[in-house]
Structure 1
Amino acid sequence: MIRLSRTLSSGWFAAVGATALLGALAPAPAAHAAQLACGQTVTTSIVLTSDLLDCPGDGLVVASSGITLDLNGHTVDGIGLGIGIRNDGFDNTTVTNSSSSPGVIQDFDYGVQLNPGASGNVVEELTVQVNELAGVELNGAVGDNQVRNNLVDRQSQRGITSVGGASGNVIAGNTITGNQGEGVFVQGSADSRIEGNQISGSGDAGLVLEGSSGNTLLTNTVDGSSDGAFLVRLGSNDNLIRGNSATLNADAGLIVSDSTGNRILNNTLQGSGDSGIFLQSAHGSTITGNDVRLNTGGIELNGSDDNLIRSNIASDTTGDGISLEDSVNNALEFNQVNSNNSGGIHVTGDAAAGSGNRLVGNTANDNNGDGIHVSKAVHTLQDNTARNNGSWGVFADPGNVDGGGNRASGNGQAAQCAGVVCTP
């Protein structure tokens, strides 16, 4: 489990506001040992001294701001109903476990739930397992709530959820394993930071943004999901997705659909059952510095316009390195698309004059098919290199624009290039 301190980056500090963050980190009143009963409200800082077993409804209910609830290595256990620890809008509380033995919350509908109005709370160092709907839920909770360094394991549905307009929160450093739904599910939530989580074995996608904008996804790992690793969909706009990794997921490494303005930077997405990055009706995104080798396809666009695809490695796939279908006004610049089982870059679909895709400075070598194949019109090819491909170095249908500077040699077709002039 990745351990994160209470200190966040200076940029994040500025984003949430110094006052709110300092309030969340203010010392809580001294805790006292307590033996509590199922369903009890907690109004002072306490340290549990015994387990709570077979709770028929809620386990414990936070009923005051600024307190700490320390599980102290004990278990809060339900019968499949209610909420393990519920906070209905109180601020600056901490639910933690100070013991070297696990502090466990299990067998409820929700393990921990922070509800509308709750801000500045911390949920940390817990083992949240075998609950029904979600392990931890931020339900309309706003303003620097932090869910960090927890083990969230084997929920019947989702691991961690952020819903109901929850915003400005942090989900960081958690180990999220074996949940039957999504590992992390963010719906209708904004301006949150999801960082350094290890998500594995999800029965659905690993990490999902749905109708959620302005979020930061940073250095998360997703392995072995039954769907895609990362899904960004249904109006999830202007998110930053940087430095994440994914391996051996059943669908694509990253799917962006019906969303605009996302920045997809320096991710490593490999071993996927589909493309490393797939854009469907996704516009105005920046896709740079990603490593999408060893997938079924590298980067795939369908009906997606005005995107920048620059300096990615889309090689060693079982399909095409980069493919565009019915997508216009995209810039493909300085990408490496080598040793793919099919082609390097494949562009299909007409474009009106002035709205074609621009292929500039790409390297397409050692592919089994064409290095670069551009059908229809009107697209621009300039300063690309295509060597030792199984068929054409560059093939462009009539009507495309030869921007000059294309180079080709050693390709299967003796003419090396068609539709543009290539030099060795």
Structure 2
Amino acid sequence: MIRTSATLSPTLPVGWFAALGATALFGALTSAPAAHAAPLACGQTVTTSVVLAADLLNCPGDGLVVGGSGITIDLKGHTVDGVGLGVGIRNNGFANVTITNSSTIPARIQEFDYGVQLNPGTTGTIVEKLTVQNNEFSGVELNNAHGNNRVRDNTIDRQAKTGVTVIGGSRENVITNNTITANQGGGFLVQNSAANRLEGNRITGSGNAGLVLDGSGGNTLLANVIGGSSDSSIVLRAGSNGNVVQGNTSTRSADAGLNVSGSTGNRILSNILTGGGDSGIVLQSAHGSTVTGNDVSGNTGGIDVSFSDNNLIRSNTANNTTGDGITLTQSLNNTLELNQAHRNNARGIYVVGDATAVTGNRLVGNTTNTNSGGGVFVSKAAHTLQGNTARDNKGWGIYADRGNVDGGSNRASNNTQSGQCAGVACTP
């Protein structure tokens, strides 16, 4: 039986639905502006709420085009299928549209250029409970769509390029609880777009990076799970400033867990980034960031900071890496405070690069134990070491080149170098 919108006139007779009979079933979709049903086909514009009653197969262009605000398109467990062209469901600026699946049977949008596309002016639209797969460019794209559009609870898999793209100045959208998997060109791209919230998504098996912000600021990345990416799990690049990256989990990426470059003022908080082919967190020409409470254990390196200034790196755990726990290279005026760097295959903390007394880095209250290459190694001057602890390391507990500043209260014991510390005074 064909279902119609709940907004139909209450004056319809009780037997109206049965009276439709085979005539209404002729089309894949029916709309009911009054007391009759009109069949819809591939490429047709939908102006009232509809429920899909059969599959739309081999659409030569678009599948369906939204043509009115405040309507619902319910796929009801059916498939909208293309031939590699057009858009499965396209909204060119209508507000408060819902594209959904009320059935327990998966509703598929497949084999178009784009699965679902929300274009300029689209606001308040919900895209939910769909299976979007095997499209060319993107499963779901938001292009200059802003104002509380919500993409949630979808399965977005096996696009030839990207799973989800948010581009062209899209703002204030929420993309949450989607499964985004096995997309060949990457899982998720946010480009030149701001103030979007990406929360609770599961992004796996990406052919490139799992989640990328490119020239995009003020976004929130919260509690996403990212695994098996062929590049880094999370990438912030080229002017992606003032974002919050919090509570995300990354495993088994081929590159870094999180790579930030050419960006400022980001907050990287309480993420678990493990099992990567590079460091857990990489900052490169990234300034003014807060990196707090992250676990970057079990990677090739823990936290790798290069040519990056004025960052706060505090209370992170960088253990059991195959390289250094925390590395600062040619970076100035950073604070390393209360971090743990234990059982690394090289050094616990390694700082290299000249600084002045004004621009030197500050190492305060860090703990570096049982590292194969020593606890803390500070090359060049003039950096400050205060209240750090280094025990049971092979080599020196703390080694600081001449010209560095001994801030006092450093401790070292049971390291294989009998002097325990060089360049600063240490107590057991």
Q: Into which bin does the TM-score normalised by the smaller protein fall?
A: over 0.9
2:214 paired with 1:210: yes
**Root mean square deviation, CA, Å:** 1.2
The aligned residue for residue 142 of structure 1 is 146
Q: Structure with the greater relative contact order (CA < 8 A, sep ≥ 6): 1 or 2? A: 1
1:208 aligned partner, one-letter code: V
Counterparts of 1:79 and 1:166 in 2: how far apart (Å)? 28
In the other structure, the counterpart of 1:85 is 89
Mapping for residues 42-121 of structure 1, pairs under 5 Å: 42-121=46-125
Give me the whole-angstrom Cα distance separating, in 2, the residues matched to 1:68 and 1:231: 35
Alignment counterpart, residue 233 of structure 1, candidates 222, 237, 240: 237
Candidates 386, 394, 419, aligned match of 2:423 = 419
Judge conservation of contact 1:28–1:68 (CA < 8 Å) in 2.
no
The Cα of 1:36 is off from its aligned counterpart by: 2.4
Contact residue 28 and residue 67 of structure 1 kept, 8 A: no
**In 1: Cα distance, 2:243 partner to 2:40 partner:** 43
User: How many aligned residue pairs are there?
Assistant: 398
| Aligned position for 1:9 | none
8 Å CA contact 1:30–1:45 kept in 2: the answer is no
- 1:8-43 CA-to-partner distances (Å, cap 9, x unmatched) read xxxxxxxxxxxxxxxxxxx98469962520000000
Among residues 178, 185, 191, which one is paired with 1:187 in the alignment?
191
Name the aligned partner's letter for residue 266 of structure 2. N
Equivalent residue number for residue 273 of structure 1: 277
Are the equivalent residues in 2 in contact too, given 1:36–1:52 (CA < 8 A)?
A: no
Structure 1 partner of 2:12: none
The answer for unaligned runs of 5 or more in structure 2 is: 10-16, 18-28, 31-38
Whether 2:162 is the aligned partner of 1:158: answer yes
Deviation at 1:412, TM superposition (A): 1.0
Q: SS of the counterpart of 1:183?
A: strand
Between Structure 1 and Structure 2, whose CA radius of gyration is higher?
2
**In structure 2, what is the Cα distance between the partners aligned to 1:384 and 1:255?**
27
Look up the match of 2:365. 361
Q: Which residue of 1 aligns with 2:24?
A: none
Q: Deviations over 1:166-186 (max 9, x none)?
A: 011011000001000110100
Structure 2 CA distance, aligned partners of 1:248 and 1:30?
Answer: 52
Letter in 2 for 1:327: S
Determine the structure 2 residue equivalent to 1:23.
none
CA shift, 1:255, in A, is 0.2
Which residue of 292, 298, 321 corresponds with 1:294?
298
Instruction: Give 1:408's aligned residue.
Output: 412
- Cα distance in 1 for residues equivalent to 2:162 and 2:356: 45
Change (3 A) 1:339 1:231: same
CA–CA distance in structure 1, aligned partners of residues 350 and 248 of structure 2:
26
1:36 touches 1:48 (CA, 8 Å); kept in 2?
Answer: no
Identity %: 65
CA deviation map 1:218-258 (0-9, x unaligned): 00010000000000000000000000000000000000000
Alpha carbons 1:194, 1:216 under 8 Å: kept: yes
**What runs of 5+ residues in structure 1 fail to find an aligned partner?**
1-26
